[in-house]
Structure 1
C-alpha cells in the first residue's frame, strides 16, 4: 500500500516548491496553521483556490461551536470545491456534526484524535479520515506510534482512513508507513528533510566527476 503524503501549511512561499514536485497529494490546514501563514478566515476561499490550482485536495477545519453551526459551516466550506474535505474536531458536538455531514455526502476528517476510542467514534460517525496527533501524543507521555498502529487496526475495513498529523521527524514517516498508516501530513521543514540524504549527495558528486572525464 502506498502512503499518501500531504503538506500541513498555509505558507504559499514554503508550499510552492514542494507542491511543484508533484509528490504531495494535497494540503491540510487548521486555525493554527492559518495563523502561522497569516491567513485570515475571510481569505480562506482565496487560499483554497490557489492550492487547488497546484494540488488535488485541500482540508479546511470548521471553527464554529455547536452541532448545527458546525454542520452549516461544513456545508459552506464544501461549497468552495468538491475537492475540499471538511475537518471537524473530535468532540461530542463535532462527531454528531460529522454524522450529519457524512449523511449529506460531505467528506469529513475528524481531527485532534488522541485515543483509539475516538477512532471508533469517528468511524461510527461516517468520517472519511481521522487525524491522530502523533507528536503531541508522544510529548504528553503516551506512546504515539503504538496508539496510531492501534487506530490503523481498529479502522481496518471500516472505510475510515488514518492521516497522521503533528509529525516531528522523517523517521516518524518511515515508522508510520511500516505500521500501515494511510497518509501523513507534514510541515514544510519536515517535508524538505525527506529529500536530504548526504550519501546520495556524495554519490551524485562522484557521478558528476566521472561525467567530466567522459566528455
Structure 2
C-alpha cells in the first residue's frame, strides 16, 4: 500500500518527505487554510513539493459548476504532469471529472462517503477516489466496512482507493489488510507510524552493547 502525506505545512512535510517513504502529497482548501497558504500561493507550494518527491501532488478545484471545474482543473494540470486534480463527488464534480478524463487529465474524486459514489467515480473514469474514513465513522457509519466495500466494487475498474481522514496508525494497518491501494496521512499520524517504544528500548540496548565493545 502506498503512503501519501495530507498537508501543506512545509515545516512538517520536509522531514517526512526526506525519509523517501511517502509517494506524494495531497491537499485541499481546508489543508491550505490550516497552513496559511492562499490560492495564489499554490503554484509556489506545488513547485516546492515536486522538488521533494518523485510522486504525484494532488490539488483540489474550488469551482462549483461543471464547466468552471473543468476549466480550473485544466489550469491546475498545466502546472505539472505530476499534478492530479481533485474534484468533489458532487453531480457537477463527477460531470467535470468525466470531461477532464476525456481531456487526458488524471483525477481523484474526493469526499467519498459510500460505495455508490465509488461506482460513479469509476464510471467517470477517475484514476482515484478518496474515501473519508474518519468522517464516515464519526457520522455513524462503519468507515472500515465502507472502504472495504469500495475496494470490492472497484476491483478491475482501474479506479484506485486513496483513503483520507485517517485518525490513527491502527487505521493504516486495517486499511492495508482490507486491500486499500493507498492512504494519505496528516503529519501527526504519519509521525506516529514510526513510534514504537519496544523498538526504541531494543535499540537503546544495542547502543549500550556497542559502546561496551569499543
The 1-side partners of 2:56 and 2:102 are apart by 21
Root mean square deviation, CA, Å: 0.4
1:184-206 deviation line (CA, Å, top 9, x unaligned):
00000000000000000000000
**Equivalent position of 2:60 in the other structure:** 61
- What is the correspondence of 1:6-17 to structure 2 with a 5 Å cutoff? 6-17=4-15
Structure 1 residue 36 displacement after superposition: 0.3
**Equivalent position of 2:23 in the other structure:** 25
Aligned residues: 213
The 2-side partners of 1:126 and 1:35 are apart by 29
The 1-side partners of 2:32 and 2:93 are apart by 20
**Equivalent position of 2:117 in the other structure:** 118
**Equivalent position of 2:74 in the other structure:** 75
Gaps of 5+ in 2: none
Gaps of 5+ in 1: none
Moved over 2 A (4+): none
Structure 1 residue 213 displacement after superposition: 1.4
The 2-side partners of 1:212 and 1:50 are apart by 41
The 2-side partners of 1:130 and 1:49 are apart by 24
**Equivalent position of 1:150 in the other structure:** 149
